[in-house]
Amino acid sequence: MIRAALSRFRHLFSDGGPKLVRDLLALLSGQSLSMLLGFLTFAYLARTLNAEAYGALEFAISAAAFGAMVIECGVGSVAVRILAEQPERRPEIAAQVVVARLLMAVLVIPSVGIIGLLTHGSAEFVALMWLYAVALLAFAFKQDWLLQSADRMQLAAIAQPVRPLVFALGVFLFVRETTGIAAIGWIEVASALAVTVYFLWAQFTRVTPFHFSGAVAGAIPLLTRGFAVGLANIIWAAMLFVPMLFLARSHPEMSETAWLGAAQRIIISLLAASYVYHFSLYPVMARTIAVDREAWLRIITSSSHIIAWGGVGVALALTVLREWLMVFVFGATFLDGAAVLAVLAWVLPIRLQTGHARWSLIAAGNQSWLVAGELVGVFAAMIVAAVAVPPLGAVGAALSLVAGVTASGVVTQVAIDRSVGQFGLVRVSLWPVLAAAAALGLPCVLPLGHAAGMGLSAAVFAAAAVIARRPILADLHRVAYAKAHPSFTSASPMDQGRV
């Protein structure tokens, strides 16, 4: 049995094994290391800075994340599609992407700095905002899309921890209780420079050099084509920023911003892992949606079933362990943020599940629906934030984000059902959602202690997953091999019913 298990394990990482699994594990390994470094770094910062300074830092990071999405503007996704059809154009497309992003950076960098001036008057905070704005130049050279198109997933995986590693080293070496927050901005600039050097090295030595002839002229149509996808991503970043902005304006002391930023950091780190999953699955989506809609339907249904159990399970764990997690990661000062984490946890399964519709719409060329969905989400988040943030503070801000991702998900799901095909999202999600509801509800009605209640929650959800194990395992097998072996997207008896 042990010999067979070892043989199976070796097969997974061999050339004959499932390529999607190898690529996904490489990317997830890099992402996991990045998450670990981020948690260690910000755990240290949360314990070293006071709540107001930490809240100001999280606000700067949130504003910079919004600016990064504007700079990216969807050109990476469009470039991957172009190179899938014309791989010989790698040198010129690589240059056009950089030029397109630099054009956007000229607009974004001053805007982020101005947000700092309008939000908070202190010179230290304004300096921090401008330094984070300057560091955004690195996103012009973020060539992970190029490594993906050249099937260099391992190099893309290595790139992920470079920036957080340099940032962590700078923080641990130079940040103390008496250090001003502007120093953290200089560390961010250094980490941005480091990852830029890595991407340029990987591109020039492993993929292709730049070919800048006509790059400016080519960048404009590239921006135009990427605008719908980029606009959707920009609006998504705005959806994340809206609760923070409303909270900072309503509670200018920034301590509430610290609770929201800390909880949001956990959720966004996990959402980054979800991006890696859909990023790796996207070539399968694009291939099947173009040539075989039935195969697309099967692979998306299987993936949705897996994600339903995984996403809901993680959200349940975050909810049950909310107090322990906030204190363990950020320190006892952040216990007040536990309720915020319990609310934000449910952003994860919603966004994970609706990711199938979003990425499928991109593969089908229906990006305008992404914009519509994210716009609806931003408006929903703004309405809820305006009502809930003044009385509830960070909890109200968290509720506004849940409302936003839910509204956006409904629109994109309706769009994919009508334009491509229906894959029964509610059906594959119902059983894990009911299991999570039971896991959260039973400890509330039974006279149990805190530890016993957590144990009961885990046992209820685990028992439900065991009951559903056969279709889950079948779907895992299909998704794992779909990238290397298109035949694994074919129908099977298990498609006739699953829980």
Residue pair 67/110 in contact (Cβ under 8 Å)? The answer is no
Percent pLDDT > 90 in the chain is 38
Q: With contact defined as beta carbons under 8 Å apart, do 295 and 423 qualify?
A: no
Tokens 């173009």 belong to: 290
Is the model more confident about 438 or about 381?
Answer: 381
Percentage of the chain exceeding pLDDT 70:
89
The pTM for the full model equals 0.79
Q: For the purposes of burial, counting CB atoms within 10 Å of the CB of 391, is it exposed (0-12), middle (13-18) or buried (19 or more)?
A: exposed
Which of these, 23, 29, 19, 76, lies nearest to 273 by C-alpha position? 29
pLDDT beyond 50 at 499: no
Cβ proximity of 308 and 20 under 8 Å:
no
pLDDT in tens, 229-242: 678 778 888 999 99
What is residue 164's predicted lDDT score, i.e. its pLDDT?
93
Which range among 39-48, 59-68, 278-287, 340-349 shows the weakest confidence by mean pLDDT? 278-287
The larger pLDDT score, comparing residue 202 to residue 85, is at 202
pLDDT (tens digit per residue) in 439-479: 888 887 777 776 777 777 778 888 887 877 677 677 777 77
**Which pLDDT value is given to residue 439?**
86
Q: Which helix (H) or strand (E) holds 142?
A: none
- Residue 121's pLDDT band (cuts 50, 70, 90): low
DSSP 3-state of 345: coil
What's the distance, CA 398 to chain centroid? Answer: 17
Give, rounded to a whole angstrom, the gap between the first and last alpha carbons of the chain: 30
pLDDT at 484 over 70: no
Maximal C-alpha separation, the chain:
73
- Of the candidates 244, 272, 251, 195, the residue with the CA atom closest to the CA atom of residue 64: 244
Beta strands in 27-137 (DSSP E): none
For the chain, give the mean pLDDT.
84
- pLDDT by residue (tens digit) across 6-57? 565 455 555 555 555 666 676 667 777 888 898 899 999 999 998 889 999 9
- Give per-residue pLDDT as tens, 179-230: 899 999 999 999 999 999 999 999 999 888 888 888 888 888 888 888 766 7
